[in-house]
Homo-oligomer: A and B are copies of this chain.
């Protein structure tokens, strides 16, 4: 479960948000040595999202007029057929069953499905390109 100062799912810059992930006691041992990684991938259920095919299957990213009509699987919007979010974040610290992370774009009380260590060999794609609208979208955040 995520404990975050952010309580509402709005489009914003999450880069500086510091939040916690509370792991069930029964699984806490599964965090053993996770602190030796600088980054983790958090998989979570976007529990307040709801997908409606009419408006969400093809839409303009962030509802912006200057963005092209784009399929839901070609954008990162939260209203998806299966509302699963994945975000790579910096791991700031571990204490017992609690992880402290930076940059997690999940609101308070979001259920966490899985946590994986970030492996550059798996997760860091070389020479990845994106359409031009992605740069315009990201400009406001990075």
Contacts and interface: CB of A to CB of B under 8 A. Distances in A.
A53 B36 CA distance: 22
The A interface is mostly helix, strand or loop, or mixed, namely mixed
Interface residues on A, range: 35 or more
Given A117-B76, A127-B38, A128-B39, A122 B87 contact: yes
Contact of A29 (B29, B57, B114): B57
Contacts of A124: 123-125, 128
A83 to B, nearest CB: 8
Given A80-B114, A123-B123, A33 B74 contact: yes
Contact of A116 (B34, B57, B73, B114): B73
Given A121-B142, A130-B36, A130-B117, A26 B43 contact: no
A120 interface: yes
Interface in A101-142: 113-125, 127-131, 134, 138, 141-142
